[in-house]
Structure 1
Amino acid sequence: MPAGLSIRIALTSFLWQAGSTLTSGVFFNWFVQEAGAKGWMLGLLLALPDLCGLAGLYARPLLQSGWGRRHLWWFSTIVSRLFFVCIPGIALLHHEFPDPQTALWLIILAISLASIFQGIAFAAWSDWISLLAAPPLWGKTLAIRSMAMIATQLLLPLIAGAIRDFAQSQARMTGSNQLLIMVYAGIFLTGVLLQLASLLPMLALPEVVLAQVRRSTGLWATLRESFQQPGYGWLIAHAWCLGAANGLTQAVLAQYQYQILKMSILPMQAMFSLMYLIQLPASWQGGQFSSRHREGFVLTFGTAITASSMLFFYFSSPENWWMIGGAYVVWGAFGAVNVAGPHMALRLSPEGDRSASFAVFRLGAGMAAGLSGIAGAWWLSWQLEASTPENAMAAYQTLFLASLAGRCLASLLACGTWCSQKHRED
């Protein structure tokens, strides 16, 4: 294991997530809704990164053709961010387009291309790191990475949210949204620069040449080998089911808080900060359990805890909007889940050839979330068009219950990984 690997991974993860905070999530949701995205268009915009991320499967053929993991990650990340930086430019020039929808379609194109290259970069990065760190240290390494990413969420979103709220108040006073758009663009560009800076801490680390991709083994043969490992099939079923359940309400939750609860970005970011504060110790504990091969236990109970979040949304209303704070508290358990799942996926993947198997786990779950997100947004849009404003709440609540059922099923599927682990030990 190279000296200082954990520190370098922590710095890279910290910078990357800091940039991601400013270019995705709440800020991106608010930005595209201000730009006129709603219904299925909003669902598509939020789902695209997950849908296109499955392109990470193409990392394996690229590695077979001679690309090094380190260089493929570096190149794909830079290309991805170059496409991403087009988004604030489109926002600044949106008034130049005769049709407002043109800007949204250009944003869709930019996100699609950026997400394709980022999916490849993530698969190459995961394979590279799994070879740099010894397997007994994966739990600690993944926990440190997760904690570094979470640390950026404690204050940065609040600061950026305060700037955004100030710009919005100024826009209302002047009657012009130009300042608000410029603030969005500035925040977005800052995020992209932080993500590019995340490459720097890893540049001194070597390419791994001792564990080459097995050129004689095809993609499907490699995946079959992974599925023959006890628990891998259950893990994939769990990850895809959880991804679909989460994705079903991805755009719905943002729209619900923005349009129904009438929440501003600052209290939302405060709730996110609370969630991330809880995720810090949860991530470390997830790493400790994973190092002892207890990922199934973490996935089963962690997913069950997070599933209860939908009940807080179900019983909330504009009068008691604060109830959704409970959802952000139980989402703190995702800190452990997000360490245990990747750890198990890496452990059950073929050594030196983990890019494809890990992509099926992580990016496949993202694809399930993306498709489910589009379906949820389309169904909600259809229901809202056919209902009165008084009945709109029922449409949201139906999706909350559907997501709750999917999350509970994902917890049951995680039991399969747990039972497989116990059977293997016996």
Structure 2
Amino acid sequence: MAPDSHHRPTGSIRKAMWLANANAAIWATGNGLVSTTLVIYLALELGATGIAVSLIRAAPQLVGLLRLASPALMTTGRSRKLVCLAGYASSALVLGVLVAVAQYHVMALVVCWCLYHLLEYVATVALWSWLGDWMPPVVRGRLIGWRERFLVAGRIVGICASVALATLWYRMDPDPQRWEPLAWSAGVGAAMMLLAVVPLLWLAPRTGKSPPSSCNPWDDICRALTDSAYRRLLLYSFWVAFANGVTGTAQSLYPRWVLGFDYTHMQTMQSMMYTGQTAIAPTCGWWIDRFGPRRLMVGAQLVVATGPLFFFLASENYPWWIAGAFLVWVAYAPLNVGLDTLKLRLIPTDGSAPSLAVYQSVSDLAHGATLIIGGYLFDRLTAGDSPPLGLYAGLFLLGWLLRSCAAPLAWRVPESRGDA
């Protein structure tokens, strides 16, 4: 049923979401300054190979499986706030350590990158469980849509700052060590992520809401895995993560080693993508509240699936075809808003934290394992030589096919527990 179009969040909810969105904007600015793209380019400048790049992309997600234990830390609303604040603050500090050790060994960078993500993942489970209390179902899509806008806008600011830093650095020093501006960008990003904790200090657990789990959280985890509605959402998330992982290593290496794009080129295209997402995210939230997420998500999935085809078309002579991928990936905005809405709508238990931990861990396992296996096979097939263009082409076509197959799975996900 469509929500009442005249319904508006109350003053206390608006204040809570203002604090949450301030946190999102500041954190995302830091995230833009120290993106996965930056860390990959930093590692490549320090001599990383295909398997090392796969580890950078995948190992944090495999380590993230440990977040399944995080609901045991959240037995009250107050403990959710404590876990959230401690997790985000400590993850920012670990990111600062990454900057200090990166130049000494690539594996030290990977270890810090993993620990940073683990702490951040645990904090995020707590945050979404906490924010779920403040998001009434009738306006949840709109609130998530606006939060998505703040997140994406913050990433744009961070990416632009990172690109500007690298560009000015190279102009001021015509023969620098190319990893240095990337390391400085990561350091500033870590400081911004630490600053993002401040708005959450003022955000209290919502009065009158029950604790996130009133029973053994491991029982809630089992219910999430066996619940019919939630299992369909998990299956869709698993398949999308698997399909994205198949082309992960190739999509990281192809722009750098075949097309000749440097860090600033890639981040400029990322900014273009995020600008488009910022523009449409709130509208996507309104649509989802009024008409439900399924039709919008199926259409968006078919659009984003075409991204690898633009990598397939790009070549040394026509490198800018790759920009088309970032253009169609603007359609990740309705997918992100829809998935964030569904993961709260379809929670099968009174305790949201265990179900949210399961949701994140299932997709991480699929994506991380696929990246590791794909990176290993990529190195084996190339045997230390330059990868043949046919290998890239085959992976990009396979990526398009697998991502397109996710659309029917999205259609099978119920829009609410009443539709299951």
TM-fit CA distance, 1:414:
0.6
Indicate the residue corresponding to 1:216 in structure 2: 215
1:35 to 46, 65, 68: 46
Secondary structure (helix, strand or coil) at the match of 1:85 reads: helix
Q: Note the aligned Cα RMSD (angstroms).
A: 2.4
Q: Secondary structure at the match of 1:405?
A: helix
Give the Cα–Cα distance (whole angstroms) in 2 for the partners of residues 257 and 22 of structure 1: 20
AA of the residue aligned to 1:18:
T
Q: Is the 8 A contact 1:376 1:399 kept in 2?
A: no
Which residue does the alignment assign to 1:312?
A: 310
What is the Cα deviation at residue 350 of structure 1? 4.0
Answer whether contact 1:52 1:116 (CA < 8 A) is retained: yes
Alpha-carbon distance in structure 2 between the residues aligned to 1:112 and 1:266: 25
Task: Give CA-to-partner distance per residue, 1:29-70, whole Å, 9 cap, x none.
Answer: 211110111111110012122222232222211113896111
1:126, 1:66 → 2: CA distance? 12
Q: In the alignment, is residue 358 of structure 1 matched against residue 356 of structure 2?
A: yes
Q: How far apart in 2 are the matches of 1:140 and 1:115? A: 28
Structure 1: segments with no counterpart, 5+ residues: 95-102
More deviation, 234-243/46-55: 46-55
Aligned with 1:247 (options 215, 234, 245): 245
Relative distance call for 1:393 and 1:166 in structure 2 (3 A) is: farther
Contact 1:43 1:251 in 2 (8 A): yes
Task: Compare 24-33 and 283-292 and name the one that shifted more.
Answer: 283-292
Question: Which whole-Å CA distance do the structure 2 matches of 1:6 and 1:376 have between them?
Answer: 40
Matches within 5 A, 1:111-150: 111-150=113-152
Query: What pairs with 1:185-334 in structure 2 (closer than 5 Å)?
Result: 185-208=183-206, 210-224=209-223, 227-228=226-227, 230=229, 232-292=230-290, 294-334=292-332
Shift of 1:228: 2.9
225 and 365 in structure 1: CA distance in 2 versus 1, 3 angstrom threshold: closer
Cα deviation, 1:204-263, whole Å, max 9, x if unaligned, reads 121246311334345244542574353x22211111111111122223212110101011
Deviation at 1:286, TM superposition (A): 2.4
CA 1:416–1:134 in 2, change beyond 3 Å: closer, same or farther? Answer: same
- TM-score w.r.t. the length of structure 2 is 0.90
2:411 corresponds in structure 1 to 415
Structure 1 residue aligned with 2:62 = 51
Cα offset for 1:185?
A: 2.5
Q: In the TM superposition, what are the counterparts of 1:144-163 in structure 2 within 5 Å?
A: 144-163=146-165
CA distance in 1, matches of 2:253, 2:53: 9
Call closer, same or farther: CA 1:294–1:104 in 2, change over 3 Å: same
Aligned partner of residue 412 in structure 2, secondary structure: helix
CA positional deviation for 1:344: 0.5
Distance in structure 1 (CA, Å) of the matches to 2:415 and 2:196: 36
Which moves more between the two structures, 246-255 or 35-44? 246-255
Q: Which deviates the most, 349-358 or 162-171?
A: 162-171
Whether the 8 Å CA contact 1:284–1:336 is kept in 2: the answer is no
**Secondary structure, counterpart of 1:372 in structure 2:** helix
1:5: which partner in 2?
16
Q: Which moved more, 1:397-406 or 1:304-313?
A: 397-406
Deviations 1:147-195 (Å, cap 9, x if unpaired)? 0111124354234223314434666x44x51xx4442232111101111
How far off its partner does 1:324 sit?
A: 0.9
Deviations 1:69-120 (A, max 9, x none): 111100111122222211111135x2xxxxxxxx112112212222221111
Structure 2: distance between partners of 1:379 and 1:14: 38
Asked if 2 retains the 8 angstrom alpha-carbon contact of 1:68 and 1:207, the reply is: no
**In 2, Cα distance between the equivalents of 1:423 and 1:359?**
19
Structure 2 vs 1, CA of residues 183 and 425 (structure 1 numbering), >3 Å: closer, same or farther?
Answer: closer
**Divergent runs of 4+, >6 A:** none
Deviation larger for 330-339 or 210-219: 210-219
Structure 2 unmatched ranges of 5 or more: 1-11
Q: Kindly indicate whether the alpha-carbon contact (under 8 Å) linking 2:238 and 2:366 is maintained by their aligned counterparts in 1.
A: yes
Inter-partner Cα distance in structure 2 for 1:66 and 1:9: 16
Query: How much has 1:335 moved relative to structure 2?
Result: 0.6
219-228 or 359-368, which deviates more: 219-228
Match of 2:98 in 1: 87
Say if 1:385 and 1:226 are closer, same or farther in 2 by CA, change over 3 A. Answer: closer
Q: 1:244 to 1:61 in 2, by over 3 A?
A: same
The aligned counterpart of 1:99 is: none
Task: Give the AA of the match of 1:339.
Answer: V
Match of 1:397 among 386, 393, 396: 393
**Are 1:75 and 2:86 matched, yes or no?**
yes
C-alpha contact 2:78 2:205 (8 A) present in aligned 1: no
- Looking at structure 1, the residues matched to 280 and 234 of structure 2 have their Cα atoms a distance apart, in angstroms, of 22
* TM-score when normalising by structure 1: 0.89
Amino acid at match of 2:133: L
Question: What amino acid is the match of 1:132?
Answer: W
Out of 18, 23, 27, which is 1:16 matched to?
Answer: 27
Q: How many residues align?
A: 408
What residue number does 2:5 align with? Answer: none
Shift of 1:336: 0.7
CA distance in 2, matches of 1:11, 1:66: 21
Structure 1 segment 165-180 matched on structure 2, within 5 A: 165-168=167-170, 173-174=174-175, 176-177=176-177, 180=178
The answer to whether the 8 Å contact 2:64/2:364 transfers is: yes
